[in-house]
A and B are shown apart, each in its own frame.
Chain A
Amino acid sequence: MAKKWNMIVDIARCDNCRNCFLATKDEHIGNEFPGYSAPQPERGHSWVDIKRHERGKWPAVEAHFVPVMCNHCDNAPCMKAARNGAITKRADGIVVIDPEKSKGQKQIVDACPYGAIFWNEERQVPQAWFFDAHLLDEGWPQTRLEQVCPTEAFRSMKVEDAEMERIAQEEELEALKPELGSKPRVHYKNMHLVTRCFVAGSVVVQVDGVEDCAADAEVVLKQDGQTLARARTDMFGDFRFDRLEKNSGQYQLELSSESSGRAATSFELGEQSLYLGPIALAS
């Protein structure tokens, strides 16, 4: 089996420094790469886009960022929409939109379920991030995304599909919109940070009439009487359960500390992560 390119994107490592976005603009604005791409327009295109997500509410909130670009799908919807063989799947897995053959084919933009193809009004061509194929073909060892990313959120690898499948399982990688069957070659790590919810709270206790944080209290998460997870509070009495499914219904929490007593509460999880606020233990 041939080795093919894949890109792993770790959402936990992206902090929206925007270097990948800027490097792609630097590479393509004003530069023509015949056979690969026409120049990117000066404004408006985001071949590597970064989607902003917040989980939770003040004061328990997280910020996450998801770089989204051409997924180089093995079952690419854009290829089906293209006429005249305007889009090719290379033997190394990379999808390239031919800047000549694709002229006037605006339907290609609409065909991408990820919004990763952009219309170049001046040149009348659809354009997307083509995995820096022009550089890889010249012998560059990696893409510009990896070269500029200070937090190593990107990891490209040229491996056989079976090997990639193994890595995907091992590292729990997920695809964007897997239900479409488009078979992306861009794989996301720590996707739960944007697709699932957390529930957090602060355990407090009254000591001599003064409210204190209850550190090292045990918190048990239950649903329908079944224990799902256990956690211990940190120095601020804070606890957090992650990877809960959205709209997954009623949960119960049992909180206890040997020295400070117990408490119980329940919550319903909807679309959003939850901060339950202070929960007081009592003996």
Chain B
Amino acid sequence: MRFSIILFGMVQALRLVALLHPRFAARLKERNLIAQFKLQDNSEGRWVQFRNGKVRSRKGIHQKPDFSIIFKNKAIAGEFLTPPFDQLVRIDAAKNFKLLVEGSDELAVWFMITLNEMQRARWKSGTNMGNGVVRYTNGTNGGPVFAYVKDGKIVRITPVEFSDEDAPSWTIKARGKEFTPPRRTTLAAHGLCQKSMVYSKNRILHPMKRVDFDPDGERNIHNRGKSEFERISWDEALDIVVKEIKRSKKHGPGAVLVTHGSHHQWGNLGHYLSAFNRFWNLIGCSKLHNNPDSWEGWYWGAMHHWGNSLRLGTPEFYGTVEDCLKEAELIVFWSSDPDASYGYEGTVRREWARELGIPMVHIDPFLNHTAAHLGGKWISPKPGTDSALAQALCYVWITENLYDKEFIEKRTTGFDEWKAYILGETDGAPKTPEWQEAETRVPAREVRALAREWGRRKTYLGAGGWGCGLGGAGRGPMGVQWARMMTILGAMQGFGRPGVNFGNLQFGAPLDFSFYFPGYAEGSMSGELTYSANAANNYQRMPHVVTMNSSRQNIPKIRLPEAIMEGRAGGFLTDVSSVRGQFLRYGYPAPGHAKIQMMYKYGSPNFGTMVDSNRWVRMYQSENLPFVVNQSIWREGETPFADVILPACTVFERWDIGEYYNVGAGYVHHMFSMVNHRVVSLQHKCIEPLGESKSDYDIFLAVAERLGLGAMYSEGGNTELDWCKRVFDSSDVAKHTTWKKFLKKGYFVVPADPENARAPTANRWFYEGRKKDTPEPYPLPADYVGEFGEGLQTTSGKFEFLPATLSQIEDPARPPLNHYQKSYENAEAEPALADFPLQLLTPHTRYPFHIMGDDEGCTLQDIREHRVTVNGHSYLVARVNRQDAEARGVKDDDLIRLWNLRGSVVCAAQLTDRLRPGVVSACTGSAQYRPVGEPGNSTDLGGCVNMLNPRKTITEKASGMAPNTSLIQFEKWTGADDWRRSEAA
């Protein structure tokens, strides 16, 4: 067909859609422009004019178009413009210079979005509930939700309740009983509070500028965090940001630093691994290199014994819910509180185990939420000494023949040396239960009893929050030793044997693991192929243009303050593709790269989540950081430490798409095995963005347009909803339902595998000496030492009691033989710590998600186990042992000051017997920062307890953080701040 005729048809279609859809007609009035379509040789063309909402077009070449869309030849134009459109054809044209756009990038993007809008104008979303109420769906870090909306306002948020149309639930038959999960999703507190977060009084509704910041004059950097902000227009804000990007880039590659929290609002598009990465790859930037902060001990330690590098050193979990319920005779929860941070899908499964009478033991200095709910034996070691307890278990097993000798012989190496160490043959100290009692304060008899029961019964070891790693004792100065001990205990009992495995019923539900829907770590629209799992599936499934960051400069996240203030920072890589990736060093500044000139802060604040975070506060006042822009939804503790603030909207005010707890390959593969039903949700735009806030995608697009990158960023005028459809089309959901139905209903329940086709049980293949049969593509094929699928990802292919890889580095706290070593946070070794007799635990909080939801306008503020309001201010709760409190004259809800040489933080006391004496537990759940005096050098009333934790890495050659078990003191807060930071910290 002739080029000009196709375009003529397009113009007719524009007019028709405008006639049928008033909103589209209104859109046509937004811009006046002339768009030229033509062939490269000017042999054919048609221009289209938009003027006051009227569309007209003429054949030929216009003299002064606002922009031109130029096709290389007629065949290419025909293929590109003739429906049905093939995404691959369109991308091919864009990538290979078959199509060019010249002229105004902003108008071209607007025009292309308008063309796409012709299709979108017919789309309908949401379920009519009567009385003007429409029920939309969305996704949160606490689970998928229904959002009831009336008159443009969210009325309520509820969990998703399934109907008979949705796929049936699975059933597990165990010991004569049948167990089926409830027909609904559960929600974590940080999901259920979302309406209050949307309408929080702390929402940033307009672009802002610090009053004493003048980009062309005095910047008053030292006043960050102190000065007020004034409202400015989007144009003014974007102009400053773009000017600063251009100024910075003149210094060389990497001069723009981008930072983000570890998490973002739920959804595949708005996530930092998606829209954010796509944008920054087009600009070029230095990125923060994240340490595996919730997996430290597993990544830097456990991994060396058995590989599992792509799981950050944690074990597989397939089939463990069924195996545990059918076979296990004891469950040991070790530093394991699954009911703390990821909702309650696994809770019912643990209740089934209790119903079946499986005994439970909880090892944790705090009687945690899971332990308090389930009951069972509570063992409370002194924080950081768990490895001694574990070694004493080994001692009893060895001396009483209670371990799996056949497994040790066939599947492991190095046991004889381990045994000699445990028996004290090498160091003269047998690791008896009595020996451990001096370290842990746990009665020797209890350790002996536990060892005997564990050795005789088929036992599941729930290690860490998820039972298969994560959090807890793995995040502390002793975290490497502890995680290594967990693998050793597993090996001595023959993990993979029926009823013997890792897990606490939180992971390993019998779902369909081959049904494809991407998780957010699979990169979505990012085009990023190196630092996400995009290349594995998503890039083929959803063709899109590749993007790449040309800067090679990375800064270790936990060393950012040093990089800025001292100009230098280094660390070891988080590289999950192999075991040895973590031995590689990197540093700032990278050769040939520029020093940081500006920081683009995006997402949640770091003062509450990073260790020794008074450093972060002081970093912002450093003259080495000439410009800071903060793109944020809420005014949080870190937000005012900026020069310009850009208001982002919540996920309820924009389109997105995602699956319940599916973060994707390359992060936590098959993490959705934590939930009872796979639920994919179209995250409806439920309401319009509040105030002048915009979606992250639209903010990035607006900046991109000012740099001539808008068409490239939006890949030819894709809106977020267009991307949602592209994700849908790329997934297996499209094989089960239509886009139209999915968009309206908003969710899809993925059918579980039939009982006879369920995934094999984790590690059974290894126990039985077969090739790996669990459905994860790990390790990489090259990492098998024998045939593909044979053995573990270690030098020997076996479980190594003394890992060969650890003998290749000199790291004193990671010797090949996992000796018991005391924590470096130790008054005997550090005399300066002698004034601080108490140990501080800083676990993840149960109510906010990390710090998301700790907003002053959020309903979580009224939860007295999270915050307590005193004189109009809300203070983070610190749990203190009753005896310790009484010794200091402290009562419930009293304000207390927790301090050491690094920081001083005021909290509200919660007296409890759920903690062993000498231990304080305060969650890292603060998004607030309220310094009494000079920011970074005074007491914080906001509850950033991470200020008390050391900056020192977990071991000398492991760039992990070690936030637990810091030594502190507390006293009743008098209101007078005489604390001064000491450099000795």
Contacts and interface: CB of A to CB of B under 8 A. Distances in A.
Contacts of B196: 25-26, 29, 42
Contacts of A144: 156, 158
Given A26-B157, A61-B914, A150-B344, A15 B881 contact: no
Contacts of B448: 210, 212-213
Interface stretch (A96-104, A122-130, A182-190, A231-239): A231-239
B862 A151 contact: no
A278 B449 CA distance: 14
Chain B interface size, under 10 / 10 to 19 / 20 to 34 / 35 or more: 35 or more
Given A58-B881, A212-B445, A22 B189 contact: yes
A178 interface: no
Interface in B121-160: 153, 155-159
B916 A58 contact: yes
B446 A236 contact: yes
Contacts of B243: none
Contact of A43 (B195, B449, B846, B861): B861
Contacts of A234: 359, 377
A18 B847 contact: yes
A136 interface: no
A44 B912 contact: no
B17 interface: no
Contact of B445 (A18, A31, A42, A211): A211
A240 to B, nearest CB: 10
B284 interface: no
Nearest to A23: B192
Interface in B845-895: 846-847, 857, 859-865, 869, 881-882
B347 A150 contact: yes
B373 interface: yes
A42 B857 contact: yes
B378 interface: yes
A115 B153 CA distance: 32
Nearest to B155: A31
Contact of A17 (B155, B189, B860, B862): B189
B372 A26 contact: no
B230 interface: no
Interface in A154-175: none
Contacts, number: 141
B351 interface: yes
Given A22-B859, A58-B917, A147-B158, A63 B372 contact: yes
A144 B187 CA distance: 13
B863 A18 contact: yes
Interface string A240-277: 00000000000000000000000000000000000000
A111 interface: no
A241 B74 CA distance: 89
Contacts of A58: 380, 881-882, 913-917
A23 B142 CA distance: 14
Contacts of A43: 861-862, 869
Contact of B446 (A18, A147, A213): A213
A19 B192 contact: yes
B369 A59 contact: no
B255 to A, nearest CB: 43
Nearest to A62: B372
A81 interface: no
Given A16-B369, A16-B865, A238 B339 contact: no
A210 B395 CA distance: 15
A236 B862 CA distance: 40
Given A59-B916, A237-B445, A30 B377 contact: no
A246 B443 CA distance: 30
- Looking at A18, A21, A204, A213, which has the most chain B CB atoms within 10 Å of its CB? A18
B451 to A, nearest CB: 11
Interface stretch (A49-57, A72-80, A86-94): A49-57
B918 to A, nearest CB: 11
Contact of A22 (B193, B201, B857): B193
Contacts of B712: none
A147 B159 contact: yes
Interface string A132-164: 000000000000100110110000000000000
B377 A236 contact: yes
B714 to A, nearest CB: 35
A55 B860 CA distance: 26
A6 interface: no
Contacts of A15: 339, 347, 369, 372-373
A71 interface: no
A222 B806 CA distance: 59
Nearest to A45: B862
Given A29-B196, A234-B377, A213 B445 contact: yes
Contact of B192 (A45, A148, A210): A148
Given A15-B373, A151-B344, A236 B192 contact: no
A61 B377 CA distance: 10
B155 A151 contact: no
A46 B192 contact: no
A27 B914 contact: no
Contact of B914 (A63, A147, A238): A63
Given A25-B859, A238-B377, A147 B372 contact: no
Contacts of A44: 862, 869
A198 to B, nearest CB: 12
A19 B862 contact: no
B343 interface: yes
B344 A17 contact: yes
Contact of A26 (B193, B375, B914): B193
A140 to B, nearest CB: 10
Nearest to B201: A42
Contacts of B156: 26-27, 31, 144
Contacts of A148: 158-159, 186-187, 192
Contacts of B846: 17
A215 interface: yes
Interface string B354-377: 000001000000010100110101
Interface string B368-392: 0100110101101000000000000
Nearest to B346: A150
Contacts of B159: 147-148
Nearest to A205: B445
A252 B187 CA distance: 47
A127 to B, nearest CB: 15
B445 A54 contact: no
Interface string B409-445: 0000000000000000000000000100000000111
A238 B449 CA distance: 11
A59 B446 CA distance: 13
B348 interface: yes
Interface string B265-277: 0000000000000
Contact of A151 (B192, B373, B446, B917): B373
Interface of B: 153, 155-159, 161, 184, 186-189, 192-193, 195-196, 199, 201, 339, 343-344, 347-348, 351, 359, 367, 369, 372-373, 375, 377-378, 380, 434, 443-446, 448-450, 452-453, 846-847, 857, 859-865, 869, 881-882, 912-917
20 contacts: A15-B372, A21-B862, A22-B863, A26-B192, A26-B193, A26-B196, A31-B156, A46-B862, A54-B914, A58-B380, A58-B913, A58-B915, A61-B914, A63-B367, A147-B184, A210-B444, A211-B445, A213-B445, A213-B448, A213-B449
Interface of A: 15-19, 21-23, 25-27, 29-31, 42-46, 52, 54, 56-59, 61-63, 144, 147-148, 150-151, 204, 210-213, 215, 234-238, 278
Which 9 A-B pairs rank lowest in CB-CB distance, beginning with the nearest?
A150-B344, A15-B373, A63-B372, A213-B449, A150-B186, A61-B913, A58-B913, A25-B859, A22-B192
Given A19-B187, A237-B445, 18 more contacts: A15-B373, A16-B865, A17-B189, A17-B344, A18-B847, A21-B862, A23-B192, A25-B862, A31-B155, A46-B862, A54-B914, A148-B158, A148-B186, A210-B444, A210-B448, A212-B448, A213-B448, A238-B377
